[in-house]
């Protein structure tokens, strides 16, 4: 019997840890699966996904820069995906149609609250970025009880659009990137930009963070290094990358596809190594 087919789509994608994560989850249940990577540019994404599922594949994870495109091509969409307008999971339904899910926000909050034992309730939150990654977590941060959510993006129109979509002006609003130095200190700073993934860094004022601040980068590994270094320079109380979030979002996808919830802590510890 041929093993079920899965993959992660992105550009670039060679850095992805999704294949070993899903293989580790599968070993917990004795499930045989094949999980690969598909590096495809934006203009080829739609056709690549259609070919993948036409070949009998069961599911796919989706990362930068394809999350909005994944949402658009799906036939059914979860509430979380609909709110965000983006998807990080595609699943082939029994009739061949595709269902889109977004597990980013749920994975972020589980990592923060369950693994790092930090409480976001009542915190002032700063969200850096307004693209697909930011949209995937913005509503969940508000659902988790942050007091305020300030959205800042290099293109102010995108930040304004996200704040308008959230439609909670008393709690969520947008500011200009050039205003960062004047915004004061935040309890929770989430880096949802693609700067680290694309090999760049952010120039951020140290006044944004302090001893009570949790600085969290949705990326992991080398892509998060610049932001985490800034957080330590700014004397932030906590500086975390998104490795735990990645493992949690993968677990959500695995459960959607297999109907079984894997244990995430052993996989996280294995990937983190001696620093876990």
Is 260 considered catalytic here?
A: no
Q: Which residues have a Cβ under 8 Å from the Cβ of 203 and sit 6 or more positions away?
A: none
The pLDDT value recorded for residue 199 is 64
Nearest alpha-carbon partner for 125 in 183, 166, 197 = 183
d(CA 160, CA 49): 31
The domain segmentation of the chain, as residue ranges, is: 4-102+244-275, 105-241
| E strand map for the chain | 4-10, 33-39, 59-62, 76-77, 89-92, 98-101, 124-128, 148-153, 172-176, 188-191, 214-217, 238-240
For 43, the token pair is 């203009």
The pLDDT value recorded for residue 198 is 62
Q: Which residues have a Cβ under 8 Å from the Cβ of 187 and sit 6 or more positions away?
A: 123, 124, 125, 212, 213, 214
Q: Identical fold at 4-102+244-275 and 105-241?
A: yes
| Secondary structure (3-state) at 38 | strand
The pLDDT value recorded for residue 276 is 54
Q: Using one digit for the tens of pLDDT, what is the confidence trace for 76-101?
A: 999 999 999 999 999 999 999 999 99
Average pLDDT over residues 147-163: 96
Q: Using one digit for the tens of pLDDT, what is the confidence trace for 175-231?
A: 999 999 999 999 999 999 987 666 677 899 999 999 999 999 999 998 999 999 999
Catalytic hit among 22, 66, 67, 83? 67
Mean pLDDT of the chain: 95
**Between residues 274 and 269, which one has the greater pLDDT?**
269
Q: Which residues have a Cβ under 8 Å from the Cβ of 227 and sit 6 or more positions away?
A: 191, 195, 196, 201, 202, 204, 215, 217, 219
Q: Using one digit for the tens of pLDDT, what is the confidence trace for 111-135?
A: 999 999 999 999 999 999 999 899 9
178 burial class (0-12, 13-18, 19+ CB within 10 angstroms)? exposed
d(CA 61, CA 247): 12
3 band by pLDDT with thresholds 50, 70 and 90: confident
d(CA 239, CA 252): 24
Number of other residues whose CB lies within 10 A of the CB of residue 224: 22
The pLDDT value recorded for residue 4 is 94
Question: In this structure, are residues 1 and 56 in contact, taking their beta carbons and an 8 Å threshold?
Answer: no
| CATH class label, 105-241 | alpha beta
Q: Does domain 4-102+244-275 have CATH number 3.40.50.10860?
A: yes
Average pLDDT over residues 172-176: 96
Q: Which residues have a Cβ under 8 Å from the Cβ of 117 and sit 6 or more positions away?
A: none
The pLDDT value recorded for residue 1 is 58
Q: Which residues have a Cβ under 8 Å from the Cβ of 64 and sit 6 or more positions away?
A: 10, 11, 132, 133, 194, 197
Question: In this structure, are residues 86 and 135 in contact, taking their beta carbons and an 8 Å threshold?
Answer: yes
d(CA 152, CA 84): 17
């Amino acid at each position: 019997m041929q093993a079920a087919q899965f993959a992660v789509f992105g550009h670039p994608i060679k850095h992805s840890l999704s294949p070993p994560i899903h293989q580790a989850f599968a070993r917990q249940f004795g499930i045989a699966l094949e999980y690969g990577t598909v590096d495809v540019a934006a203009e080829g994404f739609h056709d690549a996904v259609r070919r993948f599922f036409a070949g009998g594949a069961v599911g796919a994870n989706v990362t930068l820069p394809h999350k909005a495109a994944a949402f658009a091509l799906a036939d059914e969409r979860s509430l979380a995906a609909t709110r965000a307008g983006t998807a990080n999971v595609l699943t082939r339904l029994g009739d061949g149609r595709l269902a889109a899910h977004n597990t980013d926000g749920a994975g972020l909050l589980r990592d923060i609250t369950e693994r790092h034992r930090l409480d976001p309730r009542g915190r002032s939150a700063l969200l850096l970025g307004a693209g697909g990654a930011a949209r995937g977590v913005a509503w969940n941060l508000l659902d988790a009880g942050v007091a305020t959510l300030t959205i800042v993006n290099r293109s102010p129109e995108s930040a304004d659009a996200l704040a308008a979509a959230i439609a909670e002006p008393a709690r969520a609003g947008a500011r200009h990137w050039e205003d960062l130095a004047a915004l004061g200190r935040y309890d929770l700073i989430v880096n949802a930009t693609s700067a680290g993934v694309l090999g760049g860094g952010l120039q951020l004022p140290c006044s944004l963070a302090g001893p009570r601040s949790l600085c969290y980068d949705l990326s992991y590994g080398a892509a998060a290094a610049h932001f985490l270094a800034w957080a330590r320079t700014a004397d932030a109380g906590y500086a975390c990358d998104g490795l735990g979030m990645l493992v949690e979002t993968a677990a959500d996808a695995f459960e959607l596809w297999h109907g079984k919830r894997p244990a995430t802590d052993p996989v996280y510890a294995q990937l983190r190594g001696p620093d876990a």
